[in-house]
Amino acid sequence: QVHLVESGGGSVQAGGSLRLSCAASEYNYRLNAMTWFRQAPGKEREGVANIATPTGNTYYADSVKGRFTISQDNAKNTVYLQINSLKPEDTAMYYCAADEIWRHAWSDGTNYNYWGQGTQVTVSS
């Protein structure tokens, strides 16, 4: 069983930055897709950034391109989400998800077997 643990959330002012971390209990060849999702109260879950771990190829939702950067550290079995120029609308619970299979529909949460508990990001204006 794969366990994912997120960290790095917090309360920041608009324009600030955060780096979220997702540590996986297993990694390397087994988890080929790792994605950050977010969900704000009353809104649907949104896939914001994905990394195909074997290649390092990254993909982003249009809503976050240019501000969010996903990266990985294979030695630490960790994926990061750097969030810059934070906006109040970025306020949400951020979740890390992983799966053995990378799919083009990476932002579809039903494609993931493993989920973390989430880390809260709150942005004040």
Q: What is the pLDDT of residues 21-47, one digit of tens each?
A: 999 986 655 899 999 999 999 999 999
pLDDT single digits (tens) 3-21: 999 999 999 999 999 999 9
- Closest alpha carbon to 1 in 111, 108, 98, 123: 98
121 or 26, greater pLDDT: 121
- Closest alpha carbon to 123 in 62, 71, 67, 61: 67
Tell me the sheet residues that pair with 97. 35, 115
Say which amino acid occupies 13: Q
What is the rounded CA–CA span in Å between residue 12 and residue 3? 28
122 or 54, greater pLDDT: 122
